[in-house]
Amino acid sequence: MKSVLKRLAAVVVAGVGVVSLATAPAQAATVITAHLEIGFNTGVPAARTINLNVHVPMNEYDANGYLIHGARIQVRFYGSDPGSDPMIYGPITWYRGDYGLTAGADGIHLDYGWEVPQGSFLNEDSGFANNGDEVYIVAKFIDGDGATISATSNTEEGIY
């Protein structure tokens, strides 16, 4: 009976070792993409719609782990101007549980939208010679230890 128990214990230990070796290691967040869309709400006079899409690809297990351990996405808005690009709004930070921030099968997503009135912070080139506004975002993924990766979005142009 003792030899059967010893063999059974050896099989269990070997099985745990094989399962441990077969489990994929945690993926470090190394890539981030950001997209900005600014539109017009036809139902509200002169309102501008802002839609942000930020994606940090990884598997769902790691995505949930990052968010549980304090990872966040931070967004800043910039005006695109010759010579310098002033920050015009932000930072705005989304944490686990905040609306729009989710973990899914293909990673962490921030899908968030809201409306602002005409002449808001999007009007980054206000003045007499306003030939239009050029706005983009810089999105940062900051993990629980403070490691950061960032991406710059497309530039949206219009009179905001």
User: Domains of the chain (ranges plus CATH)?
Assistant: 27-158 (2.60.40)
Spatial separation of the C-alpha atoms in residues 22 and 91, rounded to whole Å: 41
- The token duo for 95 is 């944490």
pLDDT value for 156 = 95
The torsion angles phi and psi of 132, rounded to 5 degrees, stand at 125, 165
The torsion angles phi and psi of 61, rounded to 5 degrees, stand at -60, -50
Say which residues have a Cβ less than 8 Å from residue 73's Cβ, sequence separation at least 6. 54, 56, 93, 94, 101, 108, 110, 139, 140, 141, 142
What predicted TM-score, i.e. pTM, was given to this entire model? Answer: 0.79
- pLDDT tens, position by position, for the chain (160 residues)? 555 445 544 544 444 444 444 445 455 678 999 999 999 887 777 789 999 999 999 999 999 999 999 999 999 999 988 778 889 999 999 999 999 999 999 999 999 999 998 888 888 876 666 678 899 999 999 999 999 999 999 999 988 8
